[in-house]
Amino acid sequence: MVRFRHDPRRGSHRVRSPHCFLAGFSGGGISGEEARKLAATALHHGARWAVITRGGDGALLAGPDGVHQAPAVPVHPVDTLGAGDTFIARTLVGLLRKEAPEAILRSAGEAAAQTCLAPGAFGYGVPMMVDLSSALTIEEIYAKTTPVPGPEVEPAGAGV
């Protein structure tokens, strides 16, 4: 999977995705027509599937069987941080499970909406219950583990 943030100043001609199963784009602020063109460009350059999230304007999923669109799931967001990432991740899961595109978009929209109901990572202290009773010190970790050997490296000039 490849993840892009669409920047109209750079143009979609920079999209290259050979051998890519899913190209994901954050396309907030672009029109539906621009999203379709962006998806077509990604498919043309090798992506099997392309998903473009457009915030409150919904999302588009394009692939071998055509273009599918879905509206955004209505939500009163607490924070939108991570919503697009959640949408794209759920889309990838749906594609790997061979779900129908319409079902993928619906499930991804619901997952993204749920993400919007919690504070994001920046500026919010989130209390966590962590059991440290079995935690090891760094010295204990090094005493109980064995380093993994590195890759074999041919000496300079070998094999020439």
pLDDT at 80: 87
Strands (E), 16-146: 22-26, 49-53, 59-63, 66-70
Whole-angstrom distance, CA of residue 38 vs CA of residue 44: 10
pLDDT at 103: 97
DSSP 68: E
pTM for this predicted structure = 0.68
Length of the chain: 160
How many alpha carbons fall within 13 Å on the CB side of residue 23? 27
Residues in the chain where the model's pLDDT stays below 70: 1-18, 121-128, 147-160
Q: How many other β-carbons are positioned within 10 Å of the β-carbon of residue 36? A: 17
